[in-house]
Amino acid sequence: MQHPLLPYKLATLCDIRDAKGRILLLHRLREPNKGLCSPIGGKLEMTTGESPAQCAQREIKEEAGLDLPISRLHLMGLISEQAFEGKGHWLLFYYRVLGAVELEAHDMPEGRLEWHHPDELDGLPLPETDRRIIWPLVRRHEATGPKGRPGFFAAHVDCRGPEMTWTVEEQFDPLPAQRADLTGLV
pLDDT in tens, 52-68: 999 999 999 999 999 99
Instruction: Give the count of alpha carbons within 13 A of 9, CB side only.
Output: 14
Q: Is 141 helix (H, G, I), strand (E, B) or coil?
A: coil
Structural domains of the chain ordered from first start: 8-179 (3.90.79.10)
CA dihedral sign of residues 69, 156, 130, 161: positive
Whole-number pLDDT of residue 180: 47
Whole-number pLDDT of residue 172: 92
Contact 151, 180 (CB under 8 A): no
Q: How does residue 32 score in pLDDT terms, banded at 50, 70 and 90?
A: confident
Would you call 99 exposed, middle or buried from its count of C-beta atoms within 10 A (0-12, 13-18, 19+)? middle
Estimate to the nearest angstrom the gap between the alpha carbon of 74 and the chain centroid.
Answer: 11
Question: Considering the entire predicted model, what is its pTM?
Answer: 0.90
Q: How does residue 100 score in pLDDT terms, banded at 50, 70 and 90?
A: very high
